[in-house]
Amino acid sequence: MSEAPVLPFAKPRNKRPPPAARAPRSENDQPLEVVTPDRYRADLLLEFAAPIVPAELVPGAALIVRVQPPLAARGGWWVLEVLSLLDRWLESVPLSCAKVLYGGHSYLIRSSTEAAEHGAAARSAFPAPRAFAD
């Protein structure tokens, strides 16, 4: 009778998720959600966002477009890109403002043309730089 070959011991598998999945998400990695008034405007926002960031229409009663951070995102640069995109979208639709949900907070984003109609004070909480005469 021949002996059975000796099989090596199986190494225990790591049951923990990979470090990227375990790491707590920072606020910069949170999805950004935009509430849209109708399907046409939601579709247009999806079309605007597609070349820059992953975006999807969230199923539910309200028409919400969820914008995810790009896979290679480091820091919050992508949020600034999306805010610029929102400004272009608001001007093209046209809408005066949009409700944005990000990092557990709700923001009202106004279009730059709407803000310009109400003066510089409406666009910024900071005073305009002053020129000093010599």
List the domain boundaries for the chain: 27-117
Count other Cβ atoms within 10 Å, centred on residue 109: 18
pTM above 0.85, yes or no: no
Which tens digits make up the pLDDT trace of 64-111? 999 998 877 666 778 888 889 999 999 999 899 999 999 899 999 998
What burial letters (b/e) apply to 91-107, b meaning 16+ CB within 10 Å?
A: eebebeebebbbeeeee
Distance CA 75, CA 26 (A): 9
Q: What is the mean pLDDT of residues 34-43?
A: 94
pLDDT-derived band at 116, boundaries 50, 70, 90: low
Q: Does 23 score more than 50 pLDDT? A: no
Q: How far is CA 1 from the centre of its chain?
A: 68
User: Which residues partner with 119 through β-bridges?
Assistant: none
* Cα 110 versus chain centre, distance: 17
Fold of 27-117: Alpha-Beta Plaits (3.30.70)
